[in-house]
Amino acid sequence: MPHTSQYHELAQRFAFETKLMFVASVALVLVGLYRVYVLWMIYKRNRQ
């Protein structure tokens, strides 16, 4: 029986790490979009 619980723990850890990777990639995308937005606003302001 310990084997299955160990596997379950491993699966939980893997799911947690996958969730963490997903959150990190979403955060990176949001930061990139925010940077592009800020640069675009600066560019528009400088053109006026």
Q: Which domain holds residue 42?
A: 1-48
- Which residue type sits at 5? S
Residue 18 has pLDDT above 90, yes or no: yes
Please tell me the distance from the alpha carbon of residue 22 to that of residue 27, in angstroms, as a whole number. Answer: 9
Give 2's pLDDT tier (boundaries 50, 70, 90). low
DSSP 48: -
Number of structural domains, the chain? 1
DSSP string, the chain: -HHHHHHHHHHHHHHHHHHHHHHHHHHHHHHHHHHHHHHHHHHHHHH-
Residue 33 has pLDDT above 90, yes or no: yes
Q: Coil, strand, or helix at residue 18?
A: helix
Tokens of 18: 């996958």
Look-up of token digits 């596997």: 7
